[in-house]
Amino acid sequence: MAPEDFLNGQILLIDKPLHWTSFQAVNKLKYVLIKKVGLPKKFKIGHAGTLDPLASGLLLVCTGKFTKRITELQGQAKEYTGTFYMGATTPSYDLETEIDETFDTSHIDEALIHESVKQFLGEIDQKPPIFSAIKKDGVRLYEHARAGETVEIASRKTTIHEFEITRIALPEVDFRVVCSKGTYIRSLAYDFGKAMDSGAHLTVLRRTKIGEYDVLNAVDVNDFVASFQ
C-alpha cells in the first residue's frame, strides 16, 4: 500500500504475540511504516483495546483518519479463549504474580463447573483486579498493589454474552467467552473459582474476535514487518 492509503485510514488486524505490550506492537508498526513506507513521523496510529502482555491475539490497529474509529471499535463485543487453573489464586488473578492461596478441588466435577457457568451469563457485577491500569485517586491500581497498599475497588457492570466450557482436565478448565467492553477475564477466573467454593486464576488468554473482526484474518507483528523488507 502507498503512504496515502495509511493516511486515509486502515484497520490493521494484528495477532499480538505473548509477552508483548500493545504499546510495543503499535510502536513496531509505526517504526516500519515510517522507515519503509515513508509516512511522516507524526502520522496518527493507535490500537482499539489493550491486550495484557500475558495475553495474545487480536489487536486492531487504526492508522490515519481511521484513528477516529477507535472509540467505536473499542465498544464492540470481544471473544476470548483461554484456561483457568482451579484450586489456587494469585494477587493479579493470572501468572503475573505467584500463587498466594490454595483451595480444595475434590468437590469440583463437570456438573458443578457447567452449572456454575450459568450465574455469569448476562449482566454481572465485577471488580477489576488490583493489578490493573484503572486509576484510583489519580494513581493506577497496579501501582497501589506493587506498593503493598490496600485500596477499595468499586465493582462495575459488565455483560457476558456467551460463556462456554470447551475442555475440562482438572485442575485446568478451558473456556470461550464473548463479553462487553471493560470485562476482565482475570476477574472472571477469580470469581468463577469462588463460585465453586474454591479458587482459580487465569493461565492462558487469547483474544479471538472484536466485533466482526477475527484473529484468523490477522497477521503476526513480525510477519507484517517482514513484508516490508
Q: Which residues are catalytic?
A: 52
Phi, psi (rounded to 5 degrees) for 35: -75, -40
At 153 the three-state DSSP class reads coil
Q: What angle is formed at CA 211 by the lines to CA 37 and CA 160, rounded to 5 degrees?
A: 140
How far is residue 211's CA from residue 96's CA, in Å, rounded to a whole number? 28
Q: What angle is formed at CA 132 by the lines to CA 127 and CA 138, rounded to 5 degrees?
A: 95
Hey, how many other C-beta atoms are within 10 angstroms of the C-beta on 68?
Answer: 11
Element (DSSP H or E) covering residue 225 = helix 221-226
Count Cβ atoms within 10 A of the Cβ of residue 60 and give its class: 0-12 exposed, 13-18 middle, 19 or more buried.
buried
Question: What would the grid cell of residue 81 be?
Answer: 479463549
